[in-house]
């Protein structure tokens, strides 16, 4: 197995790096520098024609792209600790929360960053300023909703840490380059963020 991944702060590579650290799993990696647009090179496009990172190449040559697909594959090989849950009910709830956080937080933060940050002008064509702006209140609305949910439980999807927390912490940390802030009033969210940020997996995988 070989993992093609970026070492920087891009959300999807970071999700997989945190996931691997939680599992205590090390995979041979090859760095592909997003900042240098190396993901659009002919060499990497031959591996993943979608030109996205990360990608996992199995020993038989099979290429698995998409952070969540890679994470599920790792979970199948290394079930403990279960970051996608155990049993039909918990697995469905984790999937629901992973998707909610991905679509209504990570995606919205990414849209703000991609459409409003000058550094993204070459990568996001065209940048649509009105669309970047339209995502700002969506981020705030979801954070408020999540704060209410976190009043009653330890983690995003329930009593234990999961893939939904990984997506959420990566999304919230990505608010900084997107020039967005978590309101002080969201005390449950801030308690959760402090605890999750202190985990070795999250603290070491910046």
Residue-wise DSSP of 185-199: T-HHHHHHHHHHHTS
Token readout for 111 is 């849209």
Query: β-pairing, 29-31 with 2-5?
Result: parallel
Nearer of residues 49 and 200 to a second copy, judged by Cβ: 49
Q: How far is the CB of 86 from a second copy (least distance, A)?
A: 11
Give the span between the Cα atoms of 27 and 58, in whole angstroms: 11
Give the span between the Cα atoms of 173 and 9, in whole angstroms: 9
Nearer of residues 101 and 178 to a second copy, judged by Cβ: 101
Nearer of residues 95 and 195 to a second copy, judged by Cβ: 95
Q: How far is the CB of 105 from a second copy (least distance, A)?
A: 12
The angle, 0 to 180 degrees and rounded to 10, between the axes of the packed helices 11-23 and 163-173 is 140
Q: Which residues pair with 31 in a beta bridge?
A: 5
Q: How far is the CB of 154 from a second copy (least distance, A)?
A: 18
Nearer of residues 28 and 89 to a second copy, judged by Cβ: 89
Q: How far is the CB of 67 from a second copy (least distance, A)?
A: 9
Nearer of residues 105 and 202 to a second copy, judged by Cβ: 105
Give a three-class secondary structure readout of 13-59: HHHHHHHHHHHCCCCCEEECCCCCCHHHCHHHHHHCCCCCCCEEECC
Nearer of residues 34 and 202 to a second copy, judged by Cβ: 34
Q: How far is the CB of 73 from a second copy (least distance, A)?
A: 4
Q: Which residue has the tokens 């998409």?
A: 66
Q: How far is the CB of 59 from a second copy (least distance, A)?
A: 11
- Give the footprint of a second copy on this chain (CB under 8 A): 49-50, 58, 62, 64-66, 68-70, 72-73, 76-77, 88-89, 91-93, 95-96, 99-100, 104, 126, 128, 130-131, 134, 145
């Amino acid at each position: 197995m070989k993992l093609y991944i970026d070492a920087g702060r891009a959300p999807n590579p970071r999700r997989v790096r945190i996931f691997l650290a939680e599992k205590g799993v090390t995979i041979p990696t090859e760095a592909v520098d997003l900042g240098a647009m190396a993901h659009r090179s002919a060499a990497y496009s031959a591996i993943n024609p979608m030109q996205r990172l990360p990608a996992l190449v199995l020993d038989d040559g099979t290429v698995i792209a998409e952070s969540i697909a890679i994470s599920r594959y790792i979970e199948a090989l290394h079930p403990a600790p279960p970051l996608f849950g155990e049993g039909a009910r918990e697995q469905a709830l984790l999937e629901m929360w992973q998707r909610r956080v991905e679509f209504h937080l990570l995606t919205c933060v990414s849209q703000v960053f991609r459409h409003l940050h000058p550094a993204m002008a070459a990568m996001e064509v065209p940048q649509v300023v009105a669309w970047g702006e339209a995502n700002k209140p969506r981020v705030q609305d979801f954070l408020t909703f999540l704060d209410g949910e976190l009043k009653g439980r330890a983690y995003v999807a329930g009593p234990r840490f999961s893939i939904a927390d990984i997506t959420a912490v990566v999304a919230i940390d990505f608010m900084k380059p997107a020039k967005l802030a978590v309101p002080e009033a969201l005390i449950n969210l801030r308690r959760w963020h402090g605890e999750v940020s202190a985990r070795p997996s999250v603290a070491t995988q910046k």
